[in-house]
Amino acid sequence: MVRSRLRQGLEPVIHWVNRRRGGKTVPVTEFPWAWAVMGWGMIWAGVVAGVGASDDASEDLFEGDRVIEMDLSISERGIANLRQYHWRRWRSTGLPRPKALATVKSGGVTYTNVSVHLKGSAGSFRSIDENPALTLNFDKHVEDQEILGYDKIYLNNSVQDRSYANEKICRELYNAAGIPTPRATHAYVTLNGRTLGLYVVIEGFNKPFLKRHFEDVSGNLYDGGFLRDINADLSVNTGENPDDKSDLKALFRVALERDPRKRFQLLPRMLDMDRFYSLMALDVMTWNWDGYTMHHNNFRLFHDNKADRFIFIPHGMDQMFEQSHGPIFPRFRGLVARSVMESPAARMQLYDRMNSLMGGVFSADLINRRIQEITTVLQQYLRDKDSYRAKRQQGEALSLQYQVTRRHDYLRQELSAGSRVPSFGPDGTHPLTQWNSRRQFGRPQLRRTQEGPRSVMRIEAGGEDQIAMGKWVSRVWLKQGVYRFSGMMRTTQVQVIAQDTRGGAGLRATGAGRLNRARGTRGWAPVSVDFRVDYPVKEVELSCELRAARGSAVFDARTLMLTKLR
């Protein structure tokens, strides 16, 4: 870092020498006298470290909570070049994004020839004349140039998160769960004298980032882009063999393997399953609907050559916690996530991972405390500088804390469902005693009566030439397995409308069709339906039903029970 700052101080001299050489650019390190000056300067800097830096020249940009100030200057020609870009038009052309050179001033240090291009897509893209999201590459044209230890950063305009906290807290969560994730901080940005306002600064995807997490960084780091999955021709951010994408194609083939047993033998050989379960768990728990798991978006994919495994890395996390009651097993749209979650054993692994993260990594108290800490720093900075943004940020932060609390409470309820699973006797049976009547449609009559020693539940059709449907319903939480719902039933003159193929009387369970559709008149006889629970814990609805134009069905309440088959 010190060496980088000293090289910046020498740049005016180097540029003068370059001009004297006819404009030929020569890196600073090719001048022997420059090495000497830098060497002595580094010794001197060890005594008076921090001179010329914002606070401390050895600071890490992403350590702690802060707001740095960044003043960008781009020439009129550069602005005109950036003005050409719009993400929707450009992504269909395959052409490189227009770039410009900027001078960046921050913390008393001036950074020259910083490469800049616009970033963002459907929700976050803004033109250069608005408050654009930007990628800044400090060492693309100036060797070893860094800002507080980083050569590439993203400036996110946070237009979809006015709390300015989602990116920072969620990146901390994913890192705490062992998922390599770029970190975040904050900046107040001006461009050519125009105030852009508060931004979220994100660590860039490059080799320095990878080196913080992996010993071998020679593998390809694939960019998921906008709504693209691993079957697309993904671009490569970094890697020694960017044109060789055979590893990605191999992962795609395994994810599509039709034989489940073969697929789940091969996947762990290609994918870091432990990190992938953590990624999926946090995507669901934070309701990262815009991430890979649920939306095959906002991700990078790194092939760790040393482990010979792929690792998914999350990217944009500005829209989080927005659905407090999002199911713990949502629709998985990411191809690899969908492929993994087809296995009941994998669902159990994901369920266990979410339980292990609850209360530790994922704690409403800890998350809300971090939101408050971040808000305190932002309020101290914004209060006198930008009162409008200060007021809005504070209100949005309170809203985010409320969303986090609601999400945590819902997850705690869902993940504790195992404690509500009924016990089964030595014979594997569990009697069902809690029943509620429900009129589905038409005018069915439902009532409890006594027939001798039998306590029965009756359903009578409306007696009209139209379909009536009624049911007695019981809901029960069950663990993964195969079950049988059974009991005794009798029917009297059950008539269905000719075109109603689903008419009749019988038993039904969630996820299993009602195979028994008794009609006409029949005495007491056993009926049953077998069904499977493929999720770790699931609430199942069991029902005794009649769907008919005329007639009645009667169920012996004492005989209705569940049997665990396996």
C-alpha span between 126 and 154 (Å, rounded):
14
Q: From first to last of its 566 residues, what are the pLDDT tens digits of the chain?
A: 434 444 444 444 434 334 443 443 343 333 333 433 333 333 333 333 333 333 443 479 999 999 999 999 999 999 999 998 886 666 656 677 899 999 999 999 999 999 999 998 777 889 999 999 999 999 999 999 999 999 999 999 999 999 999 999 999 999 999 999 999 999 999 999 999 999 999 999 999 999 999 999 999 999 998 889 999 999 999 999 999 999 999 999 999 999 999 999 999 999 999 999 999 999 999 999 989 999 899 899 999 999 999 999 999 899 999 999 999 999 999 999 999 999 999 999 999 999 999 989 999 999 999 999 999 999 999 998 889 889 999 999 999 999 999 999 999 999 998 889 999 999 999 999 999 999 998 899 999 999 988 999 999 997 777 889 999 999 999 999 999 999 999 999 999 988 888 889 999 998 776 667 899 999 999 999 999 999 999 999 999 999 999 999 999 999 999 999 98
DSSP string, 89-135: HHTTTTPPPP-EEEEEEETTEEEEEEEEEEE--TTT---TTS--EEE
pTM, entire model? 0.80
* Cβ-proximal residues to 184 (8 Å cutoff; 6+ apart), any chain: 62, 167, 168, 171, 200, 201, 202, 203
Choose among 292, 299, 298, 271: nearest CA to 338: 292
154: β partners? 135, 202
Residue 297, class by beta-carbon neighbours within 10 Å (0-12 exposed, 13-18 middle, 19+ buried)? buried
Helices (H) and strands (E) in the chain, counts: 14, 20
Indicate the CATH number of 429-564 among 2.60.120.260, 3.40.190.10, 3.30.1330.60, 2.40.240.10: 2.60.120.260
